[in-house]
Amino acid sequence: MSIRVLKDKRVLLGVTGGVAAYKAAILASRLTQVGVAVDVVLTEAATRFVAPLTFQAVTQRPVYTDLFELEVDPGSGELSIPHIALAKAADLLLIAPATGNTLAKLAHGIADNLLTNIALATPAPLLIAPAMESDMWAHPATQTNVATLTERGVTVVGPTAGHLASGAEGVGRMSEPAEILEMARVVLGQAGDLEQRRVVVSAGGTREAIDPVRFISNRSSGKMGYALALAARDRGAQVTLVTAPTSLSDPVGLKTVQVESAAQMRDAILAASSDADALVMAAAVSDYRPIEPAHQKIKKGEEGLTLQLSRTPDILAEMARLRELGRGPKIVVGFAAETQDLLVNARDKLQRKRLDLIAANDVSAADAGFSVDTNRVTLLSADGTVDALPLMSKEEVADEIWDRVCRLWETG
Ligand code: PMT
């Protein structure tokens, strides 16, 4: 998976002494797998839980534990001080797990080991994932330390509630590596090229009720819309994701609004879009809905069942109209899901709905469109530009679309 915000980044992973240190090895492995260079620093206590060799094996890089060990540059033969070199090189300092003791040191600027020295010396943003017993977490001293760090701009992820090392249940478990990785993306992207931008993205297939148990819907998994929302978040945007039901997990670092029907999606998008910088509609919105959904489950009869359908609101067209009145999103982008005459139909939608950009999506291809992780789209702009993109991951398609939206903002 190629995620642009992680490409060529260097993350310094600080591991402190808690049982959750084993999860830090999973985190180091995940980061390495997506192309991040991970420098690991263990406190002395952390080495009691997980051996440095584990981290060396998963990152294929040296692991650091000692403040007083000087390094020799193999090229120049010069000595360098690891905490200064590591502190300068990092794009992000991530401490996971962060014990109550380390939180206290960070809050008070105490530098008595390699990790806390790096924390004082680095200009990189700091992300911490606390893990401790619930009484330690709830203690006013810890809460004050966390508040101090948050005020200073440090991002804190977790802890979550669940089973703790002592056998008790409570708040204090380190967040799962997947969630920490998501937060790392958020923090790394904070000063990205979509910083200060407010964007709205729609995802998933709407459901139009037939009766309390049945509905009309389509094959959308939400993957394309979620990829767009996450890519915008990773580039620093404030994102509202309006999503019909999907099986995807709720993303961190953005606002998610759950809806079911086209009418609910329209209301949510209208509320979120009035002062948005862009709206991108990847949702597969039902074009028709049953006029009068039954209040009770429809019983099986001998005869066939006839449903009377009416058109749903065309959300995209309405938002583009509002934009012309100065009340809608500044840029309006749609998708065209087609099984024939791809470009002709997409161009017609672009013009009829008065969009800035449309992604023409041949949904009859096995490797593109609904449900799969890849997509192949042709981007048609209102100025007549046609850009046929090759097969890509949905994450990469999302970045291509945001690149075009950035250009549209620039050209006004
Ligand atoms: O979710 P995935 O499984 O990842 O699949 C991705 C996708 C195939 C759903 C996505 O790439 C895609 O093509 N989305 C648009 C699907 C669609 O509804 O296309 P359409 O050609 O019927 O509609 C054109 C545009 O108008 C779309 O941007 C749609 O969101 C919008 N629309 C449609 C109907 C309606 N009532 N209101 C709308 O705003």
Distance 50 CA to ligand 1 centre (A): 48
Please tell me the CATH code under which domain 198-411 is placed.
3.40.50.10300
* Closest alpha carbon to 243 in 222, 263, 227, 223: 222
CA of 333, closest atom in ligand 1: 28
Beta carbon of 224 within 6 Å of any ligand 1 atom? yes
Kind and range of the H or E element at 245? none
How many residues are recorded in the chain? 412
**Is the whole model's pTM more than 0.85, yes or no?**
yes
Please tell me the CATH code under which domain 10-188 is placed.
3.40.50.1950
- Tell me the three state secondary structure of residue 211: coil
Burial class (CB in 10 A: 0-12, 13-18, 19+), 29: middle
Whether 218 is catalytic is yes
Do the domains spanning 10-188 and 198-411 agree at the CATH topology level? yes
Beta carbon of 273 within 6 Å of any ligand 1 atom? no
Beta carbon of 125 within 6 Å of any ligand 1 atom? no
Beta carbon of 43 within 6 Å of any ligand 1 atom? no
The catalytic position among 113, 218, 361, 375 is 218
pLDDT tens by residue, the chain, 412 residues: 568 889 889 999 999 999 999 999 999 999 999 999 999 999 999 999 999 999 999 999 999 998 777 676 667 766 677 778 889 999 999 999 999 999 999 999 999 999 999 999 999 999 999 999 999 999 999 999 999 999 999 999 999 999 888 888 899 999 999 999 999 999 999 989 999 999 999 999 999 999 999 999 999 999 999 999 999 999 999 999 999 999 999 999 999 999 999 999 999 999 999 899 999 999 999 999 999 999 999 998 878 899 999 999 999 999 999 999 999 899 999 999 999 999 999 999 999 999 999 999 999 999 999 999 999 999 999 999 999 999 999 999 999 999 999 999 999 7
**Distance separating alpha carbons of residues 88 and 97, to the nearest angstrom:** 22
Distance 189 CA to ligand 1 centre (A): 27
**Distance separating alpha carbons of residues 252 and 327, to the nearest angstrom:** 29
Nearest CA to ligand 1 atom 13: 337
**Distance separating alpha carbons of residues 168 and 49, to the nearest angstrom:** 20
**Residue ranges covered by each domain of the chain:** 10-188, 198-411
Residue 155 pairs with which residues in a beta bridge? Answer: 127
Per-position DSSP letters for 161-205, written without gaps between them: EEE-TTS-EEEEEPPPHHHHHHHHHHHHTTTSTTTT-EEEEEESB
Distance 28 CA to ligand 1 centre (A): 37
CA of 346, closest atom in ligand 1: 21
What pairing do the DSSP bridges indicate for beta strands 198-203 and 238-243?
parallel
**Distance separating alpha carbons of residues 110 and 148, to the nearest angstrom:** 14
